[in-house]
Amino acid sequence: MTTPPTSTTSLRFKRLLLTGAAGVLGRVLRPRLKAYCDVLRLSDLADLGAAAAGEEVSQVPLQDAAAVHGLLAGVDAVVHLGGVSVEAAFDPILQANIVGTYNLYEAARKHGVKRVLFASSNHVTGFYRQDEVLDTNALPRPDGLYGVSKAFGENLARFYFDRYGIETACLRIGSSFAEPKDRRMLATWMSFDDLERLVVSCLTAPLVGYSVVYGMSDNRTQWWDNTKAKHLGYVPQDSSEPFRAAVEARQAPLDYNDPAVLYQGGAFVRTGPFE
């Protein structure tokens, strides 16, 4: 593994907003993003604990338009991780991921916030096969309602850029964990350090426009091609390869009649329905 990132930019923001700050990736980014801003505003429905020096903490439901409007006041840029992050019943996905994302972009428009990093997902394209390699122009093939909501968010971001000039980097995040858990993640894994590199690259790129980039490390097995996102400057430095032997040793032989083995979305392609 490489040495953890240090700041590779002299740019510093007055105030960044991190939504979903109590989630797994929010907890990873919370201490890291503070190095790039004077004030880090944190939001989630879950308890965020006390604000540290240079932090602001808010418990805001994304479906509450007025509350989200207040959350965007005085913000330079947004890292939007908030919402339902797994396959679930439609109503919570609707409220958090669809209504909530609309509320965030409307608030950004009204407050003049010009850059958003939208945490999209590999599940936007989960029904492509694992023997296909996709570039960032790949059309959505969601593997569930969660993926549908992220495809909506990508299209909403496109609209807000074309109509209002709000730049968005849509991060089609793979599997960001301390280490890959199974053979699928040998392709989809992104280290926490590479997550930071991706976020900082998209925050500081001179021009983002509307861009899609896959969130993955420099893995040997690759399903995604970021060539068309090189203008963002993201260069992953970690790889799932050091974990390969252990992953392959502990996982049972693959069943090629299982859709989770055939499709990039893994188990999401057969999760649900929720009644």
The alpha carbon dihedral of 50, 40, 188, 100 has a sign of positive
The amino acid that residue 6 corresponds to is T
A 10 A CB-CB count for 72 gives: 21
Is 160 one of the catalytic residues? no
User: DSSP string of 209-264?
Assistant: SEEEEEE----SS-SEE-GGGGGG-------SGGGHHHHHHHSPPP-TTSHHHHBT
Please give the structure tokens belonging to residue 108. Answer: 């950004």
* Cα gap 160→178, rounded to integer Å: 34
Catalytic residue among 102, 128, 146, 234: 146
Q: Are 126 and 268 in contact (CB under 8 A)?
A: yes
DSSP state of 88: -
How buried is residue 201: exposed, middle or buried, by Cβ count under 10 Å (0-12/13-18/19+)?
A: buried
Burial of 91 (0-12, 13-18, 19+ CB in 10 A): exposed
Catalytic residues: 146
